[in-house]
Amino acid sequence: MNDDFVRWWAARHRATKFAVRRIPFRELDAWHFEPGSGNLVHRSGRFFTVEGVKVEEGTALSWSQPIINQPEIGILGILVKEIGGVPHALMQAKMEPGNVNTLQLSPTVQATRSNFTRVHRGSTTRYLEHFAGPAQGKVLVDSLQSEQGSWFWHKRNRNMVVETADDVPVREDFHWLPLPALRSLLRRPNLVNMDARTVLACMPMTPPEEAADPFTDALLRSYRASRGLHTTDEITSWLTEARTGCDWRTRLIPLAEVESWSRAENKIANLDDQDFRILAVAVEAGNREVTRWTQPLLAPRGRALAGFLTAAFDGVLHLLVQARREPGLRDVVELAPTLHLTAGQDPGGHAFGRDLLTVDRSRVRFDCVMSEEGGRFYHALTRYMVVETHPGPPPDVPEGFRWVTVGQLTDLLRHGHYLNVEARSLLSCLHSLW
């Protein structure tokens, strides 16, 4: 690990005191349950609300759950610059109340619209001028990408990468990191946050010319391959068919109408207390735009799992993706990892659960636990895995799955709403395997 980064990271931990404690809902400041609807809302009418979503599938199935509705579009932006002939990224040591370890490495700018328009009346968002308003550099990435469709209603953020040649003053909570070093940090648990991972997945890559082993060679070929077992047009047509054939009907409902969930003094939970809960916390953070506040958080029970099965066909690495339904996605269906289980789901019931979890360790290429969005979720952890299958001809897979190259997924990321956030996190993890 870069020595300068180690010293800076340790200094940021020492410099600021953080405190997060659970509180009953009655101690929330500026938040309340609306009469009638029961929705949990902020008095400004901004930030987000906790409402309900109802899903109807054909005529046979209907279910409902709480969901976070945050209609405004935030900015996730990484500023990059060539320093000494090496591309660097300006990264931030950012505290989020839901982080399991409080401080994680985040993009240069990670802000909701309510934050950067200063609804909270706090200080301004640093470096925002590089991503909003008149162009301050060369825009390399600018796309709207979804977030967790199981927990967010139609949530999306603007993912941006902007290159600058200017001298940029570096504030104490920020640090220029060489891109190769930043990618290597993805192999460390709970260090690079979800917002940084999704932007890194969208960032244009220049793979090295040489590989250290056959797997890496196949991976590098996959970056360069725009065509694999299926053309990109065939992949997008297959996804469109999955969307049009999906018989889910989803709509927002008042939180008070969500069935089989109840509200207690300090949590909203389903009757068997599984899946997730809605909690309230009080926060103190010396390095944030506002240093004290309270807010709700969604707290999953247990750890999620997301993994790609990989295989090399004609020397080109392919990833097995699925067309996955989630109630909060704008198009309901997006491309997801081979295995994508939310907290508490049994991997034994999934078609590829055994392939990922019982494979010989020599075929596990990536295995790391990382945090999801700590601004809205409390201690939400996902185990991310990349696993090789046995070599051989392309195996038959169920209709809801397709083999794709890394190059094809990278091309799709120039547009929004193709890859879900877990798939994007895993794609960024692949960047650490060169």
Residue 196 DSSP SS3: helix
122 close to 37: Cβ distance less than 8 angstroms? no
pLDDT-based confidence at 118, cuts 50/70/90? Answer: very low
Q: Regarding predicted confidence, which is higher, 358 or 305?
A: 305
Does the structure show a pLDDT above 80 at 268? Answer: yes
Give CA–CA dist 372/206, Å, rounded. 27
Q: Is 263 exposed, middle or buried (0-12, 13-18, 19+ CB in 10 A)?
A: middle
Exposure string (b/e) for 74-89, b if CB count within 10 Å is 16 or more?
A: bbbbbbbbeeeeeebb
Q: Regarding predicted confidence, which is higher, 20 or 60?
A: 20
How many angstroms separate the first and last alpha carbons of the chain?
16
Residues 6+ apart with CB under 8 A from 163: 79, 80, 81, 137, 138, 139, 140
Mean pLDDT over each residue of the chain, to the nearest integer: 92
303 close to 382: Cβ distance less than 8 angstroms? yes
DSSP string, 152-188: EES-EEEEEEEE--S-----TTEEEEEHHHHHHGGGS
pLDDT-based confidence at 251, cuts 50/70/90? Answer: very high
pLDDT tens for 229-240 read 999 999 999 999
pLDDT tens for 386-399 read 999 877 777 789 99
Q: Which of the residue ranges 115-124, 133-142, 375-384 would you say has the lowest mean pLDDT?
A: 115-124
Q: Which two tokens stand for residue 330?
A: 């704008």
pLDDT at 287: 65
pLDDT tens for 174-210 read 999 999 999 999 999 999 999 999 999 999 888 787 8
Mean pLDDT throughout 248-264?
96
Q: Which of the residue ranges 152-166, 289-303, 339-353, 373-387 would you say has the lowest mean pLDDT?
A: 339-353
23 close to 378: Cβ distance less than 8 angstroms? no
pLDDT at 288: 62
* Proportion of the chain above pLDDT 90, given as a percent: 77
Give CA–CA dist 413/418, Å, rounded. 7
The 10 Å Cβ neighbour count of residue 366 is 18
pLDDT at 120: 45
Mean pLDDT throughout 268-272?
92
Q: Which two tokens stand for residue 341?
A: 């289980």
Which residue in 419, 326, 323, 337 sits closest to 386, CA to CA? 337
pLDDT at 122: 52
| Top-ranked range on mean pLDDT: pick from 2-16, 96-110, 391-405 | 96-110
pLDDT tens for 9-50 read 999 998 878 899 999 999 999 999 999 999 999 999 989 999
Q: What is the DSSP letter of 48?
A: -
pLDDT tens for 120-155 read 455 678 999 999 876 578 999 999 999 999 999 999
* Proportion of the chain above pLDDT 70, given as a percent: 96
